[in-house]
Amino acid sequence: MSLIRLQNISRRYQMGTETIHALREVSLEIQRGEYVAIMGPSGSGKSTLMNVLGCLDSPTSGRYELNGTDVSEMDDNELAEVRNREIGFVFQTFNLLPRSNALHNVELPLIYAGVHADERRQTALTALQQVGLGDRVHHRPNELSGGQRQRVAVARALVNQPSILLADEPTGNLDSKTGEEIMALFEELAQKGNTIILVTHEEDIARQARRILRIRDGLIASDERLERKS
Amino acid sequence: MKLLLEMVEGLRIAWDAIGANKLRAVLTTLGIIIGIVTVTLMGAAIRGLNAAFLTSVSAVGTDVFFIQKWPWFNEEPWWKLLKRREIYLADGHAFIRKANPHWHVNLQSVGVRTLRYGHNVATGVFLVGNTETAVVTDDLSFSAGRYFTAAEVEGHRPVCVLGADVARNFFPHGQAVGRRVRIDDMAFEVIGVLEKKGKFLGIENLDNTAHIPVTLMGRGFTFFPGIRIAVKVGGLAHLEDAREEVRAVMRHVRRLPPTDPDDFSVNSLEAFIQKFTQVSRIIGGVGLFITGLSLFVGGIGIMNIMFVSVTERTREIGVRKAVGAKRRAILIQFLIEAAVICLLGGLIGLGLATLITWGIARFFPATLSLPIAALALGVSALTGILAGFLPAWRAARMNPVDALRSE
């Protein structure tokens, strides 16, 4: 069974009198453990695809099965629960809570999952140690470097042990050296068997994945499998 | 369990958010502070007034009935009462003859006169004509001398008892008893001085007075032709039965046929207290309404700043939703923030009110009560939740994609 199965997914927006077809009848399958990059120029529909994959947005038509469950007809609260359980987000701008320290930022998904304080703290600490920030748990985002902030975000994304790690331009706000560090972290996570979906417009970043989906005008233009580098 | 976790998180966020905008929070809650201060001060003043009133009234006693031509509170049109017969001294004596032997009956008449002693003049003295029973009915006590006797009342003896203030003015060095004072043109021998009573409701002076036998009052000391009959029935039990008995005796004195209405009124402090309570409730109600308005205005301020807070933190809301916060969690978060701001205002307001109450309690009766304080805090938290609901609801319904995209 595929982890992700999109069947004829369309997403249309109404902008005034004009209808925008962000996605047109997209069908796609992603297996557990895959490391996929989604590429495309701006306006191609890659952000919409990421939002639909991440259950932040619902398709206008079509069917989306995530982990065997149809999520395309779910309401706001049900989707929130799916996001909490199944998906870990990493954003270009990190999106950490500025007034909370690293530990509390990582604890956040666990709070909404209803995990007890003691267990929450332990789990969050472990996640921070996994990304190499065991000594920075009480620092606030503004006391951390860009690379460290993104690591906190990765720890937050992983803390609930989601099915998918969904990263939207994770290196877009980092210099090339720290960008490489983050990509190395992703490589490590991929090797451990995590499913990673990476949205980017940089060719050399996308090349580090095992599969590249190119989106153009709301359609999948190409689906390329890469040889495993080692 | 989850709800509790979300509330704890909400409390934590609220505390952080307020800490990040301390001045804004204080300014926002100013309306609530003012509202709470006025509510509690209003309550404190009314309570103080009530307490002072009851202490003043209880000095007279609630088991005393006053038979008078006029009622204290008009139940009937005054022109009907105008036809009532006057109550004369003779009626009073007739009443005493027919009265229950356990009662203490005093015949009273009042006027305002000028007193003289040598070159000293006291104007506006409250002159009271009494019988010897006034000692019981008015619960009198003396700092010197005695009250007049039944024989002195019957014998029209020119004796008088002075109030504490009058005595002190005329005889600053004491020794009032045995001296002669003049009331209008008549000389009276001072036989006693009343103990100081203080002021009624803290306003009306009860010590600027003089008592003479009621039998002398008819000699131009009052322009009211009638008297009032004060009846102390003794004991507070069965007060209504006692009132009926007093009424029956007076009807007998008046020889009223059973079908005729009373041509007199039986007044008591009981009714006075009821009236006072009623008035103080109205004042309290109006006061609460006005202060409620100020709380309402404060609530609008809270709502306004909560909208600002929601807009400022749109991205945070997006992040929380992305990691799995449901609508309820976001709603709770902002409701708690609004409630905490208001509660802070309530606490500050209560603190100020306590200080102010403590200050005015030196000049005017006022006490701050625990129920009022609890009510004030409850009301302020409720205001926060009500005012915060609309902004919180807007935040809860936000679309996560749009929220994450906002700057």
Q: What is the pLDDT of residues A164-174, one digit of tens each?
A: 999 999 998 89
pLDDT tens-digit series, residues B291-318 = 788 888 888 999 999 999 999 999 999 9
Q: Is B20 on the interface with A (CB under 8 A)?
A: yes
pLDDT (mean) for B179-206: 83
Would you say residue A177 has pLDDT above 80? yes
Q: State residue B58's pLDDT score.
A: 67
Q: State residue B200's pLDDT score.
A: 63
DSSP code of residue B229: E
Flag the least confident range among A24-38, B112-126, B163-177, B191-205. B191-205
Measured CA to CA, the distance from residue B338 to residue B29 in angstroms comes to 10
Q: Is A123 on the interface with B (CB under 8 A)?
A: no
Q: State residue A182's pLDDT score.
A: 92
Would you say residue B271 has pLDDT above 80? no
Would you say residue B149 has pLDDT above 60? yes
Residue A170 to chain B, least CA–CA distance (Å) = 15
Q: What are phi and psi of A153, to 5 degrees?
A: -65, -40
Q: Is the CB of B323 less than 8 angstroms away from the CB of A89?
A: yes
Q: Is the CB of A83 less than 8 angstroms away from the CB of B404?
A: no
Could you give the percent of chain A with pLDDT greater than 70?
99
pLDDT tier for residue A82 given thresholds of 50, 70 and 90: very high
**Shortest CB distance from B323 goes to which of A51, A57, A83?**
A83
> Do the beta carbons of residue B63 and residue B232 sit within 8 Å?
yes
> How is domain A31-58+86-225 classified at the architecture level of CATH?
3-Layer(aba) Sandwich (3.40)
**Shortest CB distance from A97 goes to which of B2, B319, B328?**
B319
pLDDT tens-digit series, residues A59-74 = 999 999 999 999 998 9
Amino acid at position B59, single letter? A
Q: State residue B388's pLDDT score.
A: 93
Q: Is B237 on the interface with A (CB under 8 A)?
A: no
pLDDT tier for residue B204 given thresholds of 50, 70 and 90: low
Would you say residue B332 has pLDDT above 80? yes
Name the residue in chain B with its Cα closest to that of A117. B5
pLDDT tens-digit series, residues A4-15 = 999 999 999 888
Could you give the percent of chain B with pLDDT greater than 90?
44
pLDDT tens-digit series, residues A92-134 = 999 999 989 999 999 999 999 989 989 999 999 999 999 999 9
Domain extents for chain A?
31-58+86-225
pLDDT tier for residue B201 given thresholds of 50, 70 and 90: low
Sign of the C-alpha dihedral computed for residues B367, B370, B374 and B375 taken in this order = negative
Domain extents for chain B?
2-55+274-405, 85-263
Would you say residue B105 has pLDDT above 60? yes
pLDDT (mean) for B257-285: 85
What does the block give as tokens for A51? 């939002």
Substitution target in B323, B327, B405 with the highest count of A β-carbons within 10 Å is B323
Name the residue in chain A with its Cα closest to that of B400. A56
Which H/E stretch holds residue B14? helix B2-20
pLDDT (mean) for B81-106: 90
Q: State residue B60's pLDDT score.
A: 65
What does the block give as tokens for B246? 């007093």
Q: Who's near A141: CB < 8 A, 6+ residues apart?
A: A94, A96, A97, A98, A102, A105, A149, A152
Rounded to the nearest integer, the mean pLDDT of chain B is 87
pLDDT tens-digit series, residues B36-90 = 888 888 878 777 777 777 776 766 677 889 999 888 877 778 787 888 888 999 9
Could you give the percent of chain B with pLDDT greater than 70?
96
Q: Is A74 on the interface with B (CB under 8 A)?
A: no
pTM score = 0.72
Q: Is A119 on the interface with B (CB under 8 A)?
A: no
Q: Is A51 on the interface with B (CB under 8 A)?
A: yes
Reading phi first (left if > 0) and then psi (alpha if -120 to 50, else beta), residue B109 is in beta
Would you say residue B202 has pLDDT above 60? no
Q: Is the CB of B404 less than 8 angstroms away from the CB of A91?
A: yes
Residue B350 to chain A, least CA–CA distance (Å) = 30
Q: State residue B1's pLDDT score.
A: 65
Q: State residue A95's pLDDT score.
A: 94
Give the pairing of strands A164-168 and A87-90: parallel
Q: Which of A160, A10, A43, A172 is nearest to A95 (CA)?
A: A172
Would you say residue A136 has pLDDT above 70? yes
Would you say residue A228 has pLDDT above 70? no
Window B:356-385, CB contacts with A under 8 Å: none
Measured CA to CA, the distance from residue A189 to residue A187 in angstroms comes to 5
Name the residue in chain B with its Cα closest to that of A97. B316
Give the pairing of strands A4-15 and A61-66: antiparallel
| First vs last C-alpha separation in chain A | 28
